[in-house]
Amino acid sequence: MAKPAFRKSGRSGGGSIFTGVLIGLIVGAILAVGVALWATGINPFKLGKHANAPAQSSATPESATPETAPSFDFYKVLPDNTSGALPSAAAPVASAPLLYLQAGAFQGADEADNLKAQLALLGVESVIQTSEVADKGVLHRVRIGPFRTADEANRTRSLLAQNNIPVTLVKEVPTQQETP
């Protein structure tokens, strides 16, 4: 039986891949610098000032004074506000009350979840609000809304009345938050 031909062990061509990547990076960097210099109009091979700077005539003296940067005084830049009083706050706008339909208030969370699921089967989205009421303990309210107009609330109320779910109309006035 003949022996197979001897092959080199190890990777062949690994060095050529690294060399290619290195050459690509160098060429890319040189091109990027060239494009940046071309885009800004700077000629690094020209002695003196930038290529896009206006040329001075030989009649103009070279000892001209350079322009000084403007100086700003913080208190002179700001508008004169000597009154020290705060601007008058706008009168609070009375917002329209939000309307909710309350389908029930339960002491047990399971009962509230059951009613919410029953409303979901009808296609009505509801929310359970949990709060503590004096002398009654914790209540889980099942509410539908908010509605902007009474017309919207009445349409949903009639749908629920057809399915024997009694609801109560609740008006809630949103509180105004103070802004600093």
d(CA 51, CA 49) in angstroms, rounded, equals 7
Q: Using one digit for the tens of pLDDT, what is the confidence trace for 26-56?
A: 999 999 988 888 888 877 667 655 545 555 5
Domains of the chain, with CATH numbers?
98-172 (3.30.70.1070)
With contact defined as beta carbons under 8 Å apart, do 65 and 75 qualify?
A: no
Q: What is the pLDDT of residue 91?
A: 57
Nearest to 150 by CA among 100, 110, 113: 100
Tokens of 26: 């160098």
Across the range 108-124, mean pLDDT stands at: 92
Q: Which pLDDT score is estimated for 22?
A: 93
- φ, ψ of residue 128 in degrees (nearest 5): -100, 120
pLDDT given at position 145: 86
Contact (CB, 8 A) for 171 and 98: yes
Average pLDDT over residues 100-124: 92
Q: Which amino acid belongs to residue 106?
A: F
Output 56 or 123, whichever has higher pLDDT.
123
Burial, 48: exposed, middle or buried (Cβ in 10 Å; 0-12, 13-18, 19+)? exposed
Q: Residue 122: which of 56, 167, 89 has the closest Cα? A: 167
Considering only the C-alpha atoms of the chain, give the largest distance between any 2 of them, rounded to a whole number of Å.
108
Q: How far is CA 48 from the centre of its chain?
A: 48
Span 149-164, pLDDT tens digits: 889 889 999 999 999 9
pLDDT at residue 15 greater than cutoff 60: yes
Q: Is residue 99 within a helix (H) or strand (E), and if so which, with residue range?
A: strand 98-106
More confident residue, 177 or 64: 177
- Mean of per-residue pLDDT scores for the chain: 78
Please check the confidence at residue 111 and state whether its pLDDT lies above 90. Answer: yes
pLDDT of residue 51: 47
| Three-state DSSP state, 74 | helix
Q: What's the pLDDT score for residue 42?
A: 79
Residues 65-94 have pLDDT tens digits of 667 777 766 666 666 555 555 556 555 556
b/e sequence 15-40, b meaning 16+ C-beta within 10 Å? eeeeeeeeeeeeeeeeeeeeeeeeee
